[in-house]
Amino acid sequence: MIRPPRILTIAGSDSGGGAGIQADIKTITMLGGYAMSAICALTAQDTTGVHAVLPVDPVMVAAQIDACLNDIGVDAVKIGMLGSPAIAAVVADRVERLAVPVVFDPVMIATSGAALADAATIAAFERLMRAATLTTPNVPELAALGGDAAMRARGVAYIAKGGDADGEEVVDRLVVPGRPERVWAAPRIVTRHTHGTGCTLSSAIATLLARGLALEDAVDGARRFVRAALEAAPGFGAGHGPLGHQAVRQDLDPGP
């Protein structure tokens, strides 16, 4: 039996199951990984919005991460919603010491529009972007981080996700220092069931990197996984519904 790659997701819990830790675990599992988690915040949320947020004590976040690293070990890390600057700091303290791929999704705003990070937390993202193999901002998150000029000045690799932009095509741009920009364009899948797309993409990239794929191939495979899950959305809820992770075959070929 082939041992699955070990993926640690450090993020918030979504009680509705569409995003956050729950989406990450579904994605990692369907792509053949072993999912571990460190929960940074509890949210009361559903497809219509985020109704309450309770950050976890940073000491407990650190304890969760340490328990996973010290016993099971890790082959890749995905970072999502953090909840506070103190949590961002303890997460950075740990991932800066790791020699495995780290994918950082700088979660600031939920699909419903609810704010999930304050200004101080966003400021604490700097260390995480430097430590990450890849940062995955959407359109408003990229703007909050200073846009393409600021990201290029930081010298970090990032994918500028285009799902929030207008137009019939979704354009994603992978920017890696010292390499030509890689662009993907695909017809927009018209659906209101888009809750958790960012979480799913970033955890899929982390899993595929842990399986040994090169960065561009991991992004390509993750994009195809997200699109398949969008097509399979079960139609739950009155608002932005969840993806259909369960319908995407675990043996989906993630290669180019």
Among residues 12, 33, 163, 198, which one is catalytic? 198
**Known catalytic residue: 68?**
no
Report helix angle 58-67 to 85-95, nearest 10.
20
25 neighbors 9 (Cβ within 8 angstroms) = yes
What Å distances lie between residue 247 and 42, 101, 255, CA to CA? 27, 27, 19
User: Which tokens sit at 174?
Assistant: 């992978």
- Is 199 in the active site? yes
Enclosing H/E stretch for 64 = helix 58-67
Q: Which of 20, 196, 221, 241 is catalytic?
A: 196
Q: Which residues pair with 10 in a beta bridge?
A: 38, 79
Residue with tokens 């949210």: 43
User: Is 196 annotated as catalytic?
Assistant: yes
Instruction: Give residue 32's identity as a one-letter amino acid code.
Output: G
Which one from 18, 199, 200, 244 is the annotated catalytic residue?
199
Find out whether 47 and 239 touch, Cβ atoms under 8 Å: yes
Given 161, 207, 221, 241, the catalytic residue? 161
Contact 204, 212 (CB under 8 A): no
- Residue of 47, 136, 194, 207 with catalytic role: 194
- The tokens describing 223, both together, are 């994009």
Is 191 assigned a catalytic role?
no
Count of CB atoms within 10 A of residue 130's CB? 14
Q: Residue 104 is encoded by which pair of tokens?
A: 């950082």
Which residue is catalytic, options 197, 200, 207, 241? 197
CA angle (167 as vertex; 201, 170 as ends), nearest 5: 25
Active-site residue set: 161, 194, 196-199
